[in-house]
């Protein structure tokens, strides 16, 4: 069974940094591209970043480019999102998800809440 | 970037109603469109991909149609478990985009 578990969320002051992790199990992690999607409180879904199966190809939404860094450790079956220069508007639940061949997100984690507040 | 616009933003309906949600793309996207269902406090769930292909295990009362710039999600007979928010999603040029969501609530 595919299982994705995010961790690393919490309360951070504006300007701070945070690293989110996504632990994967139940599938061959190295064979899949992965993605991060976030959702601000009471708002819709926003795609954040995606990374190819081997970590070579990386893509970011314009809203996070330059501040967010995605990485993938296939040996540890883990996906990461490093966030720098956090802003109040980055407050969201951050989900990791597995990308399928049709470029859709078939399996999702439960989400990690990041709150940016002074 | 291609923009996805959903309508309506909120839909009030009763159990047994036929419900339709529309998603329009700012330019043609062929059939590269997916639909997700999300309930409060939960992660989204994939319902339909490639505009009309039902994910295995999703009830047949859900269907998708459309191509080009206009797409619809239809629930043929709304069930109590279907009250949720629905999102369309598109991929192109190494970028993904979601519609703003349609909340289906009790009338």
Q: Over the stretch B26-74, which tens digit does the pLDDT of each residue have? A: 998 888 899 999 999 999 999 999 999 999 999 999 999 999 999 999 9
CA distance B97 to A67: 20
A45 touches B98 (CB < 8 A): yes
What pLDDT digit, counting tens, does each position of A61-115 carry?
Answer: 999 999 999 999 999 999 999 999 999 999 999 999 999 988 999 999 999 999 9
Between CA A100 and CA B53 the distance in angstroms is 14
Cis amide bond preceding A78, omega within 30? no
CB contact under 8 A, A45 and B55: no
What confidence tier does B92 reach under pLDDT thresholds 50, 70, 90? confident
Q: Which two tokens stand for residue A107?
A: 């399996």
Q: Which among B43, B46, B94 has the least Cβ separation from residue A104?
A: B46
Question: Which of A65, A3, A60, A17 has the alpha carbon at shortest distance from A36?
Answer: A60
| Cα(A105)–Cα(B89) distance, integer angstroms | 10
pLDDT value for B30 = 83
Q: Are A36 and A14 in contact (CB under 8 A)?
A: no
Q: What does the pLDDT read at residue B25?
A: 93
Q: Is the pLDDT of residue B93 over 90?
A: no
A/B interface, count of CB pairs below 8 Å? 56
> Residue A33 pLDDT > 90, yes or no?
yes
pLDDT in tens, A36-65: 999 999 999 999 999 999 999 999 999 999
CA–CA gap between residue B35 and residue B49 (Å, rounded): 7
Query: Residue B76: its pLDDT value, please?
Result: 98
CA–CA distance, A110 with A94 (Å, rounded to integer):
9
Q: Do A106 and B55 touch (CB under 8 A)?
A: yes
């Amino acid at each position: 069974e595919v299982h994705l578990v995010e961790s690393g969320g919490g309360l951070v002051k504006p300007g701070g940094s945070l690293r989110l992790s996504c632990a994967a199990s139940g599938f061959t992690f190295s064979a899949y591209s992965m993605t991060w999607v976030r959702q601000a409180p009471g708002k819709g879904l926003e795609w954040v970043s995606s990374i190819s199966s081997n970590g070579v190809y990386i893509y970011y939404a314009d809203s996070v480019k330059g501040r967010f860094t995605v990485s993938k450790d296939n040996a540890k079956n883990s996906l990461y999102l490093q966030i720098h220069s956090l802003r109040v508007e980055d407050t969201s639940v951050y989900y990791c998800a597995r990308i399928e061949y049709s470029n859709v997100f078939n399996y999702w984690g439960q989400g990690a809440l990041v709150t940016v507040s002074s | 970037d291609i923009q996805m616009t959903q309508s309506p933003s909120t839909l009030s309906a009763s159990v047994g109603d036929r419900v339709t949600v529309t998603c329009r793309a700012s330019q043609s996207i062929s059939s590269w469109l997916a639909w997700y269902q999300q309930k409060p406090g939960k992660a989204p769930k994939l319902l339909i991909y490639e505009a009309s292909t039902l994910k295995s295990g999703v009830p047949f009362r859900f269907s998708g149609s459309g191509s080009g710039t206009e797409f619809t999600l239809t629930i043929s007979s709304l069930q109590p478990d279907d009250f949720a928010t629905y999102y369309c999603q598109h991929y192109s040029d190494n970028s993904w985009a979601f519609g703003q969501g349609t909340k289906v609530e009790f009338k």
